């Protein structure tokens, strides 16, 4: 709808391939389609080799500055975030600074830091508690995304105990469930009525409605003295946010002038 001066590229996963194309390259090319002649800077986190090649080619095509934001880059982003979230946030902060520079604006670090500390993104590697049960919720829907989420859950919780997952037939169900194989309990859930879950059912698992599955998962975690990972489509994550009674209306709090 418009040509951006600055483009931030977070980690590119193979998602929505049925619309964007059959390969990760196709997904990356579609996403990089926002870059145009007016784009002065592209900021990206480290990517898979094939995605990096496409980003570099896009930058070269338009003569755009390319900056890779790595973990050692100075940032005001809070340090207690999940690793992938913090890196993506750092890329966003860097993009904001690049945009301010392009507009001739200055950045007040105190106000920027306060705003960054207030950012609230439920359902994206977000951490919660239900009673005494620690819960992480994420909307990963591809094997690579699920693997990243599992690694973050292990890093945060230290144990792969209970997961309640919702992967409809439109996703790579076998690939996603394979990334959950180390969990002690995997509870399949279904969310929207318009989606089908025959693939996971064919693997021999009963698929429960979302609220029943979530209640079972949390209670299982509580009885074992463990935690619960909730993962799947955004519609399913929305139900989880309701069950967990998480406030979802405020993304961040801008600091006062």
If asked whether residues 111 and 221 sit together in one domain, one would say no
Domain boundary among 96, 117, 138: 117
Answer yes or no: is 249 within a domain: no
- Residue 33 sits in the same domain as residue 51: yes
Is residue 107 situated within a structural domain? yes
Quick one: 131 and 112 in the same domain? no
Mark which of 61, 83, 117 sits at the end of a domain.
Answer: 117
Residues 103 and 132 in one domain: no
Long-range pairs, 69-73, Cβ under 8 A, ≥24: 69/43, 69/44, 69/45, 69/94, 70/45, 70/46
253 belongs to a structural domain:
no
Domain boundary, last residue among 97, 117, 137: 117
Q: Which residues contact 220 (CB under 8 A, 6 or more apart)?
A: 162, 185, 187, 228
Are 133 and 82 found together in one domain?
A: no
The residue segments making up the domain with residue 153 are: 124-243
Query: Which tens digit of pLDDT belongs to each residue from 133-172?
Result: 999 999 999 999 999 999 999 999 999 999 999 999 999 9
pLDDT value at residue 67: 97
Number of domains forming the structure of the chain? 2
Mean pLDDT taken over the chain: 93
Any idea what the CATH number is for the domain that residue 142 is in? Answer: 3.90.190.20
**Residue that is written with structure tokens 């519609």 in the block:** 235
Q: pTM (2 decimals)?
A: 0.86
Q: Give me the percent of the chain exceeding a pLDDT of 70.
A: 99
pLDDT of residue 194: 87
Residue 14 domain-assigned (yes or no): yes
d(CA 167, CA 43): 31
The per-residue pLDDT for range 173-186, each reduced to its tens digit, is: 999 999 999 999 99
Lowest-pLDDT choice from 14-23, 47-56, 117-126, 199-208:
14-23
Query: Would residue 157 count as lying in a domain?
Result: yes
**Across 226-251, average pLDDT:** 95
């Amino acid at each position: 709808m418009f040509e951006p001066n600055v483009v931030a590229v977070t980690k590119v996963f193979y998602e929505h391939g049925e619309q964007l194309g059959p390969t990760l390259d196709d997904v990356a090319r579609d996403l990089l389609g926002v870059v145009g002649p007016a784009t002065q800077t592209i900021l990206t986190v480290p990517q898979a080799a094939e995605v990096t090649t496409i980003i570099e080619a896009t930058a070269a095509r338009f003569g755009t500055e390319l900056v890779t934001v790595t973990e050692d880059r100075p940032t005001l982003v809070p340090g207690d975030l999940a690793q992938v979230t913090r890196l993506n946030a750092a890329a966003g902060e860097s993009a904001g600074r690049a945009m301010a520079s392009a507009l001739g604006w200055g950045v007040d670090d105190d106000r920027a830091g306060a705003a960054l500390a207030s950012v609230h993104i439920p359902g994206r590697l977000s951490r919660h508690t239900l009673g005494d049960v620690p819960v992480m919720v994420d909307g990963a829907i591809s094997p690579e995304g699920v693997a990243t989420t599992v690694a973050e859950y292990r890093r945060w919780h230290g144990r792969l105990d209970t997961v309640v997952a919702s992967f409809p037939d439109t996703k790579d169900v076998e690939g996603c469930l394979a990334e959950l194989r180390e969990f002690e309990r995997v509870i399949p859930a279904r969310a929207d009525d318009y989606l089908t879950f025959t693939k996971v059912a064919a693997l021999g698992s009963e698929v429960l409605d979302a609220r029943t599955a979530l209640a079972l998962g949390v209670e299982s975690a509580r009885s074992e003295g463990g935690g619960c990972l909730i993962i799947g489509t955004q519609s399913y994550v929305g139900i989880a946010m309701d069950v967990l009674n998480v406030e979802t209306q405020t993304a961040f709090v801008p600091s006062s002038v």
